[in-house]
């Protein structure tokens, strides 16, 4: 999260002009690596994307979550 602070701070300065897009980064056909417990990277990325989106919205930013459903649009 610490690495995201400068990005969110920068985005907050121009929040009235932009929407922050948060891309999950994997999809169902290519879910990424699998953890030792059998959980695909897609699931971890989804959880992280939701956390980032929540933090951004709390700070008053408009957001767009991309790829959460696991399909490429």
Which DSSP state fits 34?
Answer: B
Tokens (6 digits) for 19: 């929407």
53-56: Cβ within 8 A, 24+ apart: 53/22, 55/1, 55/4, 55/8, 56/8, 56/11, 56/20, 56/22
User: What's the pLDDT at 58?
Assistant: 93
**What's this model's pTM, rounded to 2 decimal places?**
0.71
Within 8 A by CB and 6+ apart from 44, the residues are: 35
pLDDT tens string, the chain, 73 residues long: the values are 566 666 666 665 655 668 999 999 888 889 999 999 999 999 999 999 999 999 999 999 999 999 988 887 6
């Amino acid at each position: 999260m610490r690495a995201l602070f400068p990005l969110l701070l920068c985005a907050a300065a121009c929040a009235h002009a932009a929407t922050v897009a948060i891309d999950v980064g994997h999809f169902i056909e290519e879910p990424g690596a699998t953890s030792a417990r059998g959980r695909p990277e897609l699931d971890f990325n989804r959880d992280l994307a939701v956390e980032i989106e929540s933090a951004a919205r709390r700070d008053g930013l408009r957001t767009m979550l991309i790829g959460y459903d696991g399909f490429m649009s």
